[in-house]
Amino acid sequence: MSIGSRLKDERGRLGMSQEAFARAAGVSKRTLIEWEKGATFPSAAALQSLGEVGADVLFVVTGSRQGASTGIAESEALAAVVTAEAELEASRELVPELAATIVSVSRDDNIDDKLRARADLVIRFAFRGTEAAKEAEARQRERNQRHQGELAWANMIVSNACEAIQWAPPQQVLSHLVNLVRIYKIDPEYIAVLLADLASTSKMPDRD
């Protein structure tokens, strides 16, 4: 089944006329007819507009319904994001298939969050002003809040450990320890042991 056929199926599923569906996509009825025939293809922006009225854009582009496992490998996700970033820089627009992949990457909890953040950034630029862009912005705000919370927690853990052994490590060491705790969720007890070891080493007298 082609993109045009799936687009027609979605229009039928939503019970929309060609006029209404075309209006939702922001195009003429003639353009929609060309899409459904497979003569031309809808733009990413048009697909996003159709998604806002209930069309399953992922199904239209890939044949897979939303909610189904896409099974995108990390390497494939990275390649898609890199390609999308390059296309945006060159033309400010993504082909529909790539746009759908980027949206899938951004929503896949099994993909590295840093890569998902890059996908969200692509969405925010490619679909500016749309619901997809708003969702991407919301996810980024959540990331920022989570990062700040993790940073505050890590600072507290390291600060408490320093107070316990009454030692103020150099700022560079302190920053590294905070990042270790934040990223790897290192056990606070181990941090205390590590700090004590560092403190004893730093206090050793220099040998002549």
Taking the C-alpha atoms of residue 147 and residue 183, their distance in angstroms, rounded to an integer, is 10
Q: What are the domain boundaries of the chain?
A: 3-61, 74-128, 144-202
Residue for token pair 């009225």: 53
Please name the residues in contact with 123: beta carbons below 8 A apart, sequence gap of 6 or more: 102, 103, 106, 132, 133, 135, 136
SS3 37: helix
CATH 3.40.1710.10 holds for 3-61: no
What is the pLDDT, as a whole number, of residue 59? Answer: 78
**Given a cut of 50, is residue 208 above it in pLDDT?**
no
**Given a cut of 60, is residue 207 above it in pLDDT?**
no
pLDDT digits 0-9 by tens, 6-16: 899 888 888 88
